[in-house]
Amino acid sequence: MRRAAAEAAAGLLTPRPARVLSRRRETAETVTIALEPTGEPWLPGQFNMLYAFGAGEIPVSISGDPGRPDRLVHTVRAVGMVSAALCRLRRGGWVGVRGPFGTGWPVAEARGRDVLVVAGGVGLAPLRPVVHALLRGRADFGRVTLLYGSRTPADLLFRRELERWARRIDVLTTVDAAAPGWAGDVGVVTPLLRRAAFDPAGAVAMVCGPEVMMRFTLAELRRLGVPERATWISMERNMHCAVGLCGHCQLGPAFVCRDGPVFRADAVGWMLGIREV
Ligand SMILES: Cc1cc2nc3c(=O)[nH]c(=O)nc-3n(C[C@H](O)[C@H](O)[C@H](O)COP(=O)(O)OP(=O)(O)OC[C@H]3O[C@@H](n4cnc5c(N)ncnc54)[C@H](O)[C@@H]3O)c2cc1C
Ligand code: FES
């Protein structure tokens, strides 16, 4: 028994090699890679530790369709050494995978209710599995609205999918800075909430993006009458072990790797914007 537990723990700490099945460039800085599945079941919102050989290991959310167990998909924005190495991977290349880790989005809890999915920038990646799950079970959910903001039109992720999704759910997009040909909204994502159709008392909101965007979104949701106990956010912190041992990812009383990354807003929302935590 003890040996089985030790083996399971060691498994969580040892990367497993996985081959890159395909690679798609999303934007100038962002790439989506599909890996051979590790065989581990996962939930929308969970993340893996991806190890770029010779560079290092970072947490990356699973961005694929939960109904496609034949591929393990991640979307990575190149911001530093490891993420850039992952973005340079080609089909046939290898990466180390540990996981999945962490908590998931409340998809089951959203059944029968209106759903607001609010994303900023690469924050759409961890929410993409939720959109897939909502579309697969479309009749089980009420009105579904995706609100998505990015810096420029060229930074919008999953552009073709956004068009496809818009045939079955409401999709509202906005950019900080327009470009020639952009006919959509300009500005931050929060004002779009006023245009979404939902019952505030019964709706579920799932929010992921830069912390400042999440802070303003939570305030607007509160103002519109969505209770904090029905609002969920995904937090990011630097990580090392991903299994609650090292303390790198501490956020106040919680460890993001173990207790998050998806938290109910009433548990951690108050900490958004406090630099020390
Ligand atoms: C649970 C979780 C899920 C994530 N999912 C994704 C994802 O789906 N796609 C994706 O592209 N990225 C995701 N990230 C962020 C990603 O892990 C970081 O961008 C990565 O660790 C940067 O490592 P690096 O070596 O490339 O850059 P570094 O050299 O370590 O950092 C480059 C810059 O990014 C900043 N930075 C580093 N890590 C973070 C972080 N965790 N949050 C905010 N800023 C950071 C640094 O301060 C620095 O300015 C996730 C992070 C967490 C914690
Ligand atoms: S990354 Fe080690 S405790 Fe969370």
Which residue among 35, 47, 79 has the greatest number of ligand 1 atoms within 8 angstroms of its CB, and so is best to mutate? Answer: 79
- 246-252's contacts with Cβ under 8 Å and 24+ in sequence apart are 251/277, 252/277
Please indicate whether residue 259, judged by its CB atom, sits closer than 6 Å to ligand 1: no
Average pLDDT, the chain: 94
Would the pLDDT of 185 be above 80? yes
Atom of ligand 1 nearest to the CA of 239: 53
pLDDT in tens, 31-80: 999 999 999 999 999 999 999 999 999 999 999 999 999 999 999 999 99
The answer to whether the CB of 73 falls within 8 A of the CB of 53 is: no
Q: What spacing in Å lies between the alpha carbon of 106 and ligand 1's midpoint?
A: 24
- The token pair that represents 6 in the structure block: 């030790």
pLDDT confidence of residue 29 = 97
Tokens 């690469």, residue? 122
Q: What SS3 state is found at 82?
A: helix
Please indicate whether residue 58, judged by its CB atom, sits closer than 6 Å to ligand 2: no
Q: What spacing in Å lies between the alpha carbon of 89 and ligand 1's midpoint?
A: 17
DSSP character at residue 240: S
Residue 167 burial (CB count, 10 A):
8
| Backbone φ, ψ for residue 117 (5° rounding) | -115, 115
Q: What spacing in Å lies between the alpha carbon of 258 and ligand 2's midpoint?
A: 7
Please indicate whether residue 13, judged by its CB atom, sits closer than 6 Å to ligand 2: no
Q: Which ligand is nearest to the CA of 59?
A: 1
pLDDT in tens, 78-107: 999 999 999 999 999 999 999 999 999 999
Atom of ligand 1 nearest to the CA of 249: 53
Rounded to whole angstroms, how far apart are CA atoms 247 and 266? 22
- The token pair that represents 124 in the structure block: 């759409």
CA distances from 29 to 26, 40, 162, 191 (A): 8, 29, 19, 27
Would the pLDDT of 141 be above 90? yes
| Backbone φ, ψ for residue 257 (5° rounding) | -70, -35
Q: Read out DSSP for 148-182?
A: EEESSGGG-SSHHHHHHHTTTSEEEEEESS--TT-
Give 231's strand partners: 205
pLDDT (mean) for 10-14: 80
Q: What spacing in Å lies between the alpha carbon of 238 and ligand 2's midpoint?
A: 8
The answer to whether the CB of 103 falls within 8 A of the CB of 259 is: yes
Which residue among 97, 236, 258 has the greatest number of ligand 1 atoms within 8 angstroms of its CB, and so is best to mutate? Answer: 236
Q: What percent of the chain has pLDDT over 70?
A: 94
Q: Using omega within 30 degrees of 0 as the cis cutoff, is the peptide bond preceding 44 cis? A: no
Rounded to whole angstroms, how far apart are CA atoms 258 and 46? 10
Q: What SS3 state is found at 226?
A: coil
DSSP character at residue 191: G
Q: What spacing in Å lies between the alpha carbon of 11 and ligand 1's midpoint?
A: 23
Please indicate whether residue 173, judged by its CB atom, sits closer than 6 Å to ligand 1: no
In a 10 Å sphere around its CB, with 0-12 CB exposed, 13-18 middle and 19+ buried, how is residue 191 labelled? Answer: middle
Q: What is the pTM of this model?
A: 0.94
User: What sign does the CA torsion over 219, 187, 192, 45 have?
Assistant: negative
Would the pLDDT of 274 be above 90? no
Which pLDDT band, with edges at 50, 70 and 90, does 3 fall under? low
Atom of ligand 2 nearest to the CA of 244: 3
Residue 59: how many CA atoms within 13 Å on its side-chain side?
Answer: 25
Task: Show Cβ contacts of residue 158 under 8 Å, excluding neighbours closer than 6 positions.
Answer: 26, 124, 128
Q: What spacing in Å lies between the alpha carbon of 25 and ligand 2's midpoint?
A: 30
Q: What spacing in Å lies between the alpha carbon of 147 and ligand 1's midpoint?
A: 23
